[in-house]
């Protein structure tokens, strides 16, 4: 099994780079992504579409992980903070949150839970 902290670090690196091909490779086909901001997304295609839409609106996002925690052999959590500017309104977005990932037996992300703190 893949180390979930390593997977989460590499996943966040791909998100920060807005590397959609790499991001897609992290997810199981039937993955679930849950966040207050985007609701519940089901399936890799829906998750990738949401990432593309988000980064079209916030192309300059800079996110930083404050810490990582291994929760189990198949899950890890990070605390993070980010800043971004809306391409539509010019307003600054500042968020802090936690993200927990759950891996399947193949080491792919099967679920992501995001919450603001």
Domains and CATH numbers, the chain: 4-116 (3.10.450.50)
For the stretch 26-51, pLDDT in tens is: 999 999 999 987 789 999 999 999 99
* Rounded-to-integer distance, Cα 51 and Cα 57, Å: 10
- Taking only the tens of pLDDT, the chain with its 117 residues reads 689 999 999 999 999 999 999 999 999 999 999 998 778 999 999 999 999 999 999 999 999 999 999 999 999 999 999 999 999 999 999 999 999 999 999 999 999 999 999
pTM for the full predicted model: 0.92
Beta strands in 3-116 (DSSP E): 27-35, 39-42, 62-72, 75-85, 92-103, 109-116
- Which spans in the chain are helix H? 4-16, 20-26, 44-57
């Amino acid at each position: 099994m893949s180390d979930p902290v390593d997977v989460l670090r590499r996943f966040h690196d791909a998100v920060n780079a807005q590397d959609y091909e790499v991001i897609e490779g992290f997810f199981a086909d039937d993955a679930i992504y849950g966040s207050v901001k985007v609701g519940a997304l089901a399936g890799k295609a829906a998750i990738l579409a949401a990432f593309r839409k988000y980064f079209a609106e916030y192309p300059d996002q800079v996110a930083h992980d404050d810490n990582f925690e291994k929760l189990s052999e198949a899950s890890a959590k990070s605390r993070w903070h980010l800043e971004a500017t809306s391409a539509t309104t010019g307003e600054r977005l500042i968020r802090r949150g936690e993200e927990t990932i759950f891996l399947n037996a193949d080491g792919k992300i099967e679920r992501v839970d995001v919450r603001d703190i």
